Structure 1
Amino acid sequence: MSEQSSALAYRTQHRQDLAGSHSIAALLNCYCREVAAPAGLLQLDTPFGNKGWPLALRHSQRVQHGHILEIRLSRTRVRILVAVASPSPTLNYDYISAPYGGGFGKPWQALDWRRLAQLLLAELAGRYDQAVNTELLQQIGNSVQVMAEFVALGEREHDWGLGAAAYLRSEQALTFGHACHPTPKSRQGIGLEAIRQYSPEVGAAFQLHYFAVRAEDLKQRSLLAAPAIELLAGQLPGIVVPAGYRLIPVHPWQAGHIRGLAPVQQALQSGRLLDLGPAGEVWYPTASVRTLYRPGADFFLKCSLHVRLTNCVRKNAWYELEGAVGLSQLLQRHAGALTETFPSLTLMAEPAFVTVDFQDQEQAQRIELQEAFGLIMRSSPHWPQGEAPLLAGALFGDSLSGHVQSRYQVEQRARRHGLSYGEAALEWFVAYVEQLAHPMLYALCQLGVVFEPHLQNVVVGLQDGLPARLYIRDLEGTKLVTGYWPQERLAQLPSRVRQSVEYSAEQGWQRVAYCLFINNFSQAVFYLAAGSQALETALWRGLALSLEDYQRRHGNACSGELIARVLQGEPWPSKTNLLNRVLQRADRCSEYVPLPSPLKNLSSL
């Protein structure tokens, strides 16, 4: 083998190993939180000693001062052992060895991602008395393959600068995806070459694809002074279209899907619809893949994309078009106190949509067209001077550069201000909690609005490296608490949206608590603490003090009860991402399992 061939083989194996190890970590994270810990089948540093353990685990324990995590699969009588760097009350483990499966008379074997997935899925099939979910195994494999592509092609720079450049780089930085999802990078219904062409993780940029549609075949709504199609035209190139036609853009991959629809083929033949092809300036996909950004544009374009990304086909359902604008209007009219009370918060409203509607078609064909062309316009902030607006998911995650972005920001701030890393990390985290948790609690308890502030819906505006502004996006998951919102206010929403938008108070709390404490702050603490248990404890104490501060400044009876429950150490609700997929439940049917709170017994630490 030539030197060049050897180097290529090494790089290929390295990226596959990196994708495999991150996929193993995600599977273990899911299983430990959702199944093993709630069932009492998870143990750290078993008292029975290490006799008979694989040598690699004993080495990790002795030389790296690691701890051995044991996961018992009770139905299939298998034990999984893996070394972790330190204990974690939130089960955010840093895995420092490969997992090994065996025990109960079975020899120990190192597990790659495929063998680990097979063991876990077989155990879950027995637990739920169903066949092994082979579709999920294929999706896990697809995720590993796609992740390996991103490892090969992704950007490795860690100094992202300021403004639009910093923001865009953060949207492109989620190489490994959600740390507690079984298929964080699965993309089905799209070929590998198209994945390379349209994925943010590889820095993709592309022109939009344009159709011209007769004005009477448009369906649109706008909360702003101008109609949606006119607002949209202001963001698009000056393509000349025949009189009576209007320009409508779609994601370039979606154009192929659209051309395959029978009503579209007929309309193209008759001239009712014109296919104009790609044109104009390039747009950039954000972390969601289907939502596109162009620096300087007034709006993001949330496009329909008939591709299954992780859980769902990412189309804009017909009722979601009206729902996004309707919710924006409700919040604009009745929730203004939120941004008045928290002026550093920006809600990225979705004030307009546009799509195609052939009203002479059967209802099924009309819906098919509306969902194929559906485009939601999301307000794009104009970033303040000197601000680095960064996606929260990019702040708290592994990167190809080897730097954790939040830790890098803290280190830089510590140097500039003469602080120790621990002092700067605590200052940073408390500022972040205030920017995020305080307005989200106010929205829930004062206004009855349930946002979904998970890592991919939060953009953090850093000034001098410190969280100073916060941007919340994507109204698709926003809910309204029953009792706060009279039915006459909700009457403007489509009936399908009204059915799904109302939550009980406890449902609202579960959603907010999961997004804040588990999806967001647990990841933040894991990465900021960098393995220091003393710093981790200090950060959790900072969260507790910030919640008390919120209650003094903005609290009411609702928040008082909820914060008291948190401070008393009540378990946190953890979303079942793995079980949703195993049981083939829709994401909206997600359930929660209790996760022990790191605030329990905090005063004694």
Structure 2
Amino acid sequence: MENKLRSEAEQQAHEHSCKLLLNCYIRELALEKENDIRINPNKLTYAVAFPASGVTVTGQLSYYSAMGEHEYLSMESGGEAVHYRDLVRWITSELIGDGEQGASSDQHGMLKSTVQMKSSLELENVHPLSENTNRVEVACARDFAQKVDNSVGNLTLYIGQAASLDIHDYRTSEQSLLYGHPFHPFPKNSKGFSEQDVRKYSPELRTSFQLCYIAVRQDVYVQEWVDDEAVMDLQELLRSHVQPILKEKSEMYGLLPVHPWQYAYLSRLTEIQHYFQDEKLILLGTAGPPVYPTSSVRTVYVPEWNCNIKLSLNMQITNMIRTNSAEQMRRTLDASRYVRQHDCFGAEPNTHIAYETGVATCAFDDEELTSLFTIAYRPIEFDPANTYVLSSLVETPLPGMRSRLMTMLGGGRINAERWLDRYLAYSLLPIVRAAGEKGIHFEAHLQNTLVTLKDGMPVDFIVRDLEGVSVDEELIREQDRGASDLLFYPRENAWARTSYYFIVNHLGSLIHALARDVNVPEEHYWKQVREVLEGELERTGNAYVQHLLTTDAFLAKQNLVSCLRGISQTPVYVPVNNPMKRIGSEVRGSRGIQG
């Protein structure tokens, strides 16, 4: 039985990864390779040709997605089922540009922008697409394939051991994001964790552990808090553990919490051994209450202290090294102060922000070394018994099942419409108002947002991770000029963050889950979003709302291309059609015919 279950988990992980790879490829390269990609929404058939490899992938869709999050019934080539490693090889061959795979660079030029986002905001050319080719180096291709393998292996483990576990509160929702980003080629990659580490530290396996701690002498220790009330006194909280070790020297040190994996890594670093010898750093070992890794892996939830702690992990989660740089922490604290001072959602009683309130680290001359120690505190100010991470709600426990959200709602189109209507009032509208009235923009993607439910219905919406806040430099007041320049962006760049993270990433996947589960086109719920925005535009004249209704397309990250080219820190973007514009055109067209 165990072998059979493992085989089923492997198959499900494999099929899900094939879906990710093909959906990424179709979304990111549909314009550049329009002659090679064919999808028939009416017949639910598709064909994707890979000329460099001389193959075509065909099959049936179980659901066609207007935003590209297609669900597949079958995927084959030459009469045989496609393996995810086949897709990796064929995709790489299309993009590699030269070398062994045989695709010529002049056939695969970088996608040029064909979209002009015309509106009263003149949001044009906001995406950093270059004139360079899509050329991929062989070493990058090899690294890409290894990360996909790692992600599939982890996903197999998660499906096999945790897919049957339910979610019933904040903690379990944080630890239930089994599949991750629906438009990333390897969302569950954790390169750097051994198999044992994966089992010990993966939130998907409902793990918990104690943190480790390092005592940092005050001449090396640095901490900053948004105000005095926010200060967490770890010395007091851990006194019974620290006092016997530091004794009369206790007051000479500050404490840094550290992830156990990072603690082992730091203790071996040659660059800091002299700090240990001089007792500027003292390893205190494991202590304190149990913590629970959250969906980001390196951030942990500490119920006993009623907070989250954003730790540093010097390893790859998806495709990024998860340490906390000085610039990221400066942005985080400055954003917390700025958003608080401007009472961002003060007029929105059901919309809230989970603030980062403090940062602690070591004062090393080497900034990269410092980032290995840096942590941030985020208090819990919501009801953890009834609050959930959105990304976990829209996922299905297993491929082919209903989303957890629709299971909570008991299914049905009417229930979904009622839920979405309430949700948009607490999320979308406050976000566009904050952008239009105060110039404040959030990276409010699914994993960065929470919802508190009562009887299954939204009662509160919460945005977190303020490192992603950006402020429209045209709307800052003179007295705010002294705030961090890191927050201020040209209007079109700030808005591009909001439109991608909340509209494409967040609403795109939420609407996909609702529509798929009740078997209606996604346009059914995008029409509902459009109607909400039309009401807001009539009341306020908000230029951002006008843009959402009228732009031809939004910009979405090319995660697959960026990962293959090794430019994840500065990803390129691709236009994704705006379903609300099309719905509006159809409505106007039908009115014209009636007239």
Q: TM-score range by the shorter chain?
A: 0.7 to 0.9
**Rounded Cα–Cα distance in structure 1 between residues aligned with 2:309 and 2:454:** 27
**Rounded Cα–Cα distance in structure 2 between residues aligned with 1:369 and 1:234:** 27
Match of 1:151 among 130, 139, 159: 159
Partners of 1:172 and 1:286 within 8 A in 2: yes
Partners of 2:21 and 2:185 within 8 A in 1: yes
**Residue 205 of structure 2: aligned partner:** 202
**Residue 247 of structure 1: aligned partner:** 255
Matched, 1:593 2:587: no
Give the direction of change, closer, same or farther, for the CA distance of 1:306–1:130 in structure 2 (3 Å limit).
closer
**Rounded Cα–Cα distance in structure 2 between residues aligned with 1:437 and 1:534:** 22
**Residue 372 of structure 2: aligned partner:** 372
For residue 508 of structure 2, what is the amino acid of its counterpart? S
**Residue 25 of structure 1: aligned partner:** 19
Partners of 1:155 and 1:202 within 8 A in 2: no
Partners of 1:573 and 1:594 within 8 A in 2: yes
| Alpha-carbon shift at residue 18 of structure 1 (Å) | 1.3
Partners of 1:395 and 1:405 within 8 A in 2: yes
For residue 356 of structure 2, what is the amino acid of its counterpart? E
**Rounded Cα–Cα distance in structure 2 between residues aligned with 1:429 and 1:481:** 29
Give the direction of change, closer, same or farther, for the CA distance of 1:234–1:571 in structure 2 (3 Å limit).
farther
Matched, 1:182 2:185: yes
Aligned residues: 541
Residues 137-173 of structure 1 show CA distances to partners (whole Å, capped at 9, x for unaligned) of: 1111111111112122225233x33xxxx11111111
Query: Any idea what SS the aligned residue of 1:188 has?
Result: coil
Matched, 1:85 2:25: no
**Residue 393 of structure 2: aligned partner:** 395
Which runs of structure 2 are paired with 1:61-460 in the superposition (5 Å)? 67-97=44-74, 99-101=75-77, 107-126=78-97, 127=108, 128-132=134-138, 133-154=141-162, 156-158=164-166, 160-161=167-168, 166-225=169-228, 228=231, 230-233=232-235, 236=238, 238-239=240-241, 240=243, 241-242=246-247, 243=249, 244-333=252-341, 335-336=342-343, 338-358=344-364, 363-364=365-366, 367-383=367-383, 388-400=386-398, 402-411=401-410, 421-460=412-451
Once structures 1 and 2 are overlaid, which stretch shifts more, 311-320 or 529-538?
A: 529-538
Give the direction of change, closer, same or farther, for the CA distance of 1:235–1:289 in structure 2 (3 Å limit).
farther
**Rounded Cα–Cα distance in structure 2 between residues aligned with 1:341 and 1:227:** 24
Query: Any idea what SS the aligned residue of 1:268 has?
Result: helix
**Rounded Cα–Cα distance in structure 1 between residues aligned with 2:50 and 2:527:** 35
Partners of 2:135 and 2:565 within 8 A in 1: no
Ranges in structure 1 where 5+ consecutive residues have no aligned partner: 1-6, 47-64, 102-106, 415-420
Query: Any idea what SS the aligned residue of 1:468 has?
Result: strand
**Residue 581 of structure 1: aligned partner:** 563
Partners of 1:575 and 1:590 within 8 A in 2: yes
For residue 341 of structure 1, what is the amino acid of its counterpart? A
Partners of 2:210 and 2:291 within 8 A in 1: yes
Give the direction of change, closer, same or farther, for the CA distance of 1:601–1:221 in structure 2 (3 Å limit).
closer
| Alpha-carbon shift at residue 577 of structure 1 (Å) | 0.9
Give the direction of change, closer, same or farther, for the CA distance of 1:475–1:560 in structure 2 (3 Å limit).
closer
Once structures 1 and 2 are overlaid, which stretch shifts more, 66-75 or 136-145?
A: 66-75
Matched, 1:518 2:504: yes
Residues 225-272 of structure 1 show CA distances to partners (whole Å, capped at 9, x for unaligned) of: 1584x4444655642133222332111111012112234322223333
**Rounded Cα–Cα distance in structure 2 between residues aligned with 1:508 and 1:488:** 20
Give the direction of change, closer, same or farther, for the CA distance of 1:226–1:232 in structure 2 (3 Å limit).
farther
Residues 412-469 of structure 1 show CA distances to partners (whole Å, capped at 9, x for unaligned) of: xx7xxxxxx1111111112222221112111222111220011100101112111121
| Alpha-carbon shift at residue 74 of structure 1 (Å) | 4.3
Match of 1:559 among 544, 559, 563: 544
**Rounded Cα–Cα distance in structure 1 between residues aligned with 2:327 and 2:240:** 31
For residue 170 of structure 1, what is the amino acid of its counterpart? S
**Rounded Cα–Cα distance in structure 1 between residues aligned with 2:434 and 2:136:** 41
**Rounded Cα–Cα distance in structure 1 between residues aligned with 2:160 and 2:374:** 33
Partners of 1:462 and 1:468 within 8 A in 2: yes
Partners of 2:533 and 2:549 within 8 A in 1: no
Query: Any idea what SS the aligned residue of 2:303 has?
Result: coil
**Rounded Cα–Cα distance in structure 2 between residues aligned with 1:25 and 1:272:** 51
| Alpha-carbon shift at residue 487 of structure 1 (Å) | 7.8
**Rounded Cα–Cα distance in structure 1 between residues aligned with 2:230 and 2:85:** 51
**Rounded Cα–Cα distance in structure 1 between residues aligned with 2:20 and 2:221:** 43
**Rounded Cα–Cα distance in structure 2 between residues aligned with 1:560 and 1:175:** 34
**Rounded Cα–Cα distance in structure 2 between residues aligned with 1:552 and 1:236:** 56
**Rounded Cα–Cα distance in structure 2 between residues aligned with 1:376 and 1:148:** 32
Partners of 2:358 and 2:377 within 8 A in 1: yes
For residue 204 of structure 1, what is the amino acid of its counterpart? T
Partners of 1:433 and 1:543 within 8 A in 2: yes
For residue 408 of structure 2, what is the amino acid of its counterpart? Q
Residues 182-211 of structure 1 show CA distances to partners (whole Å, capped at 9, x for unaligned) of: 010001122110111011000010001012
Q: Which has the higher contact order (CA 8 A, sep 6+)?
A: 2
Once structures 1 and 2 are overlaid, which stretch shifts more, 389-398 or 30-39?
A: 30-39
TM-score relative to the length of structure 2: 0.85
Residues 19-60 of structure 1 show CA distances to partners (whole Å, capped at 9, x for unaligned) of: 1111111111111111125642422249xxxxxxxxxxxxxx
Which runs of structure 2 are paired with 1:1-40 in the superposition (5 Å)? 7-37=1-31, 39-40=33-34
**Rounded Cα–Cα distance in structure 2 between residues aligned with 1:591 and 1:236:** 46
Partners of 1:146 and 1:186 within 8 A in 2: yes
**Rounded Cα–Cα distance in structure 2 between residues aligned with 1:85 and 1:436:** 30
Query: Any idea what SS the aligned residue of 1:266 has?
Result: helix
Partners of 2:17 and 2:152 within 8 A in 1: yes
Identical-residue share of aligned pairs (%): 26
Partners of 2:533 and 2:545 within 8 A in 1: no
**Rounded Cα–Cα distance in structure 2 between residues aligned with 1:314 and 1:396:** 25
For residue 406 of structure 1, what is the amino acid of its counterpart? L
Query: Any idea what SS the aligned residue of 1:145 has?
Result: helix
Once structures 1 and 2 are overlaid, which stretch shifts more, 238-247 or 21-30?
A: 238-247
Partners of 1:460 and 1:470 within 8 A in 2: yes
| Alpha-carbon shift at residue 531 of structure 1 (Å) | 5.6
Match of 1:470 among 443, 461, 465: 461
Partners of 1:461 and 1:468 within 8 A in 2: yes
Partners of 1:34 and 1:576 within 8 A in 2: yes
**Residue 124 of structure 2: aligned partner:** none
Give the direction of change, closer, same or farther, for the CA distance of 1:74–1:564 in structure 2 (3 Å limit).
same
For residue 505 of structure 2, what is the amino acid of its counterpart? N
Partners of 1:86 and 1:531 within 8 A in 2: no
For residue 394 of structure 1, what is the amino acid of its counterpart? S
